[in-house]
Chain A
Amino acid sequence: MKVHSSEFRAQSLRVGVGLFGLLILVIFGAISLGSESLSFLELTKLESAILYDVRLPRILLGACVGGSLAIAGASLQALLRNPLAEPYLLGVSNGAALGTMLAFVFFESYESSRSILAFAGAALATVAVYQMAKSRAGMSVERLILSGVIVMTFLSSIIILLTTLLDATKLRSFTFWLLGDLSQATKGGFYLSLAALIIGSIILLSQARALNLMMIGEKDAFDFGVEIARTRLVVFATAAALVGVSVASSGSVGFVGLIIPHLVRLAVGSDNRNVLPFSALFGASFVVIADTIARTVIAPREIPVGAITALIGCPLFIYLLKRN
């Protein structure tokens, strides 16, 4: 493993700078598009309200959500040694969604309860899937996906039960939100999401070397001095927290954690010290692009952004499944 060669580092740096540049470009592109056209050279009071109170918080929240979901997906894939592990497909997003809805039903006036219960739901779903999927022979792709589907379906049925019990006007806003929707973005939601993304990324990056070793095999990793149980706990908890905060603000935006890490690995290989940060950067761009499509194609009406990401993600998932 000559991963420390200076040439390798230089290449990583180039890709990182390139992806960061792409994100900045995408954000500026997204700012210039919307259901209202703005005269950017001299904004009227109304236009500046549209830009700063509505469009910008939404774009930036989208970037944080995309980054969070992509880096959570990438780290789960490394930890489970399974290329199809994805927060949405594993039912983790649904766990968070259920938590958010329970918070909405029981503690409506405490907005912070949503993120906390979303995290709890995501964590419980993660543990449930992991316990169901692992066997003495290790964890096969099929077993993991099946466990994920079961947990996801079970949680979906509880969510459907809840929406049926809620009254009709509440139900309407929830069906939109469940599909992944950034239209309720607020500045507060963005700051929370940004904080979660920064802290979560730092924690996950600190585990990147351990994850690299665990990808070779848990026994080898142990021989190299990796505390496997601790790494597993830290990665699971951080990924669940990132997914929880994202879902609490924008519902279940699916497939981001699948598509993005895969494309990144195709480009730079599977060293997690690269895959994790690059996934976050690229995931941010991806969701901002998807949401720009969602809010402009049938303006002033809107499409849930989750529908767009799933539309792109499903075919790719089938392709990856076939190739495996």
Chain B
Amino acid sequence: MGNLRLKRCAILGLLFSVGIFASCKSTNVVPTDVSQTREVVDELGRKIRLPAKVTRAVSLAPSLTELVFSVGAGDRLVGVTTYCNYPADAKKIKKIGDVLKPNIENIVALKPQVVFVSTASQLEAFTKTLEQQNIKVFVTNPNSLEHIYKSIEKMGEVFGEKENAEDVVTNLRKRVAKVEESTKNSEKIKTFVQLDKSTFTIGKDSFLTDLIEKAGGVSVTKEVSTPYFKISKERALASNPAVIIISESPDNNTPSEVFKNSSAVKNKKVFKIDADILSRPSPRIVDGLEQIAKSLHPDKF
């Protein structure tokens, strides 16, 4: 008896939920008029269809938020992460979760025409979830300064702000060229980038390795082919850097114990640069470059 009733309940429940999902599917499809759309290729080479004018975009990383603002399209962002704190206007935009855990419901509710995702956030699975909801996803792949220029140009294309984007890139290229010019003939200074106190640092594939070269230095951990890793204390000690750059945050503002006898600490060559600037592949990274160059070669700036 009880068993039969249980079965009936289960079947009813099942039918009910199928009904809900079916009705959802039918209302969730966004009507698109093909004549008013265009095709854009993202940085992974995937083709996506966007409306002629993008007015509702969501950014899933602080660096992407900064990129959108840099081409003058910040007012078209309708959702950002809780980490998006720059420029000040970004703080007023609706939050859709943090970088590691964006909230799919919040994003769907905002009806975005495009969502920006960075490969650095490792959100491959989440990208699929978004696409299943019929949301267009534009992926950026920021591995070097050149990639950041390309991202800016792509943002210009997405938002129809190509001229702005080109101006931004030209300006950044000039500033970078100036730094490179000033440090070109100077000695390459051995630099360690401290990302946290447990000696987390940069490897060959981080854009910061490229940045240090441009600033007239050489990363002491550049032979390890990975973007970021935890280096053994022995190797950190043996590397004996002449300069330590600390990616500054409340938990990371003094050099790690292992460096207490390094030439950097002895000669007071430890410099702190805001972690928000150093960790984000955005236009502000050139500010970072200038600060690194100034730390490595104070006589030249």
Residue of B nearest to A184 (CB): B198
B30 close to chain A: CB less than 8 A: no
A53 close to chain B: CB less than 8 A: yes
Residue of A nearest to B197 (CB): A173
Q: Within the complex, what minimum Cβ distance (angstroms) separates A190 from chain B?
A: 14
Q: Which of B149-157, B234-242, B283-291 contacts A (4 or more CB under 8 A)?
A: B234-242
Q: Using A35-B234, A300-B231, A300-B235 as known contacts, say yes or no to A49 and B261 having CB atoms under 8 A apart.
A: yes
Residue of A nearest to B236 (CB): A300
**Pairwise interchain contact B235-A173, C-beta atoms closer than 8 A:** no
Q: Within the complex, what minimum Cβ distance (angstroms) separates A50 from chain B?
A: 5
CA–CA, A301 to B240, complex, Å? 17
**Pairwise interchain contact B251-A301, C-beta atoms closer than 8 A:** no
CA–CA, A295 to B233, complex, Å? 10
Residues in B neighbouring A49, C-beta threshold 8 A: 237, 261
Q: Using A46-B240, A54-B237 as known contacts, say yes or no to A169 and B252 having CB atoms under 8 A apart.
A: yes
B100 close to chain A: CB less than 8 A: yes
Residue of B nearest to A174 (CB): B198
A-B contact count (CB 8 A): 69
Contact partner of A54 (CB less than 8 A), chosen from B229, B249, B252, B258, is B258
B230 close to chain A: CB less than 8 A: yes
**Pairwise interchain contact A34-B251, C-beta atoms closer than 8 A:** no
CA–CA, A85 to B195, complex, Å? 40
CA–CA, A49 to B233, complex, Å? 11
**Pairwise interchain contact B198-A299, C-beta atoms closer than 8 A:** no
**Pairwise interchain contact B238-A172, C-beta atoms closer than 8 A:** no
B200 close to chain A: CB less than 8 A: yes
Question: A interface, how many residues as a size bin?
Answer: 20 to 34
Residue of B nearest to A295 (CB): B232
B226 close to chain A: CB less than 8 A: yes
**Pairwise interchain contact B249-A169, C-beta atoms closer than 8 A:** yes
Contact partner of B198 (CB less than 8 A), chosen from A54, A55, A176, A186, is A176
Residues in A neighbouring B205, C-beta threshold 8 A: none
Contact partner of A172 (CB less than 8 A), chosen from B196, B224, B233, B261, is B196
Residues in B neighbouring A186, C-beta threshold 8 A: 257
**Pairwise interchain contact A299-B237, C-beta atoms closer than 8 A:** no
Chain B CB within 10 Å, residue with most, of A169, A176, A299: A169
**Pairwise interchain contact B196-A176, C-beta atoms closer than 8 A:** no
B-contact 0/1 string along A160-194, CB 8 Å cutoff = 00000001111011001000000110100000000
Residues in A neighbouring B221, C-beta threshold 8 A: 300
Q: Using A49-B261, A172-B196, A172-B200 as known contacts, say yes or no to A54 and B251 having CB atoms under 8 A apart.
A: no
Residue of B nearest to A54 (CB): B233
**Pairwise interchain contact A46-B237, C-beta atoms closer than 8 A:** yes
CA–CA, A173 to B224, complex, Å? 20
A302 close to chain B: CB less than 8 A: yes
CA–CA, A35 to B251, complex, Å? 27
Chain A CB within 10 Å, residue with most, of B196, B221, B234, B258: B234
A-contact 0/1 string along B197-228, CB 8 Å cutoff = 11010000000000000000000010010100
**Pairwise interchain contact A301-B234, C-beta atoms closer than 8 A:** no
**Pairwise interchain contact A50-B234, C-beta atoms closer than 8 A:** yes
Q: Within the complex, what minimum Cβ distance (angstroms) separates B19 from chain A?
A: 34
Contacts A/B (CB < 8 Å), 20 sampled: A35-B235, A36-B235, A46-B237, A46-B238, A50-B234, A50-B237, A58-B233, A167-B251, A170-B251, A172-B196, A172-B200, A173-B197, A176-B198, A183-B198, A295-B232, A299-B235, A300-B221, A300-B224, A301-B230, A301-B232
Given A172-B196, A300-B231, 12 more pairs with CB closer than 8 A: A34-B234, A53-B237, A54-B258, A169-B200, A169-B249, A172-B198, A173-B196, A173-B198, A176-B230, A184-B198, A295-B234, A301-B230
Interface residues of B (CB under 8 A from A): 99-100, 195-198, 200, 221, 224, 226, 229-235, 237-238, 240, 249, 251-252, 257-258, 261, 275
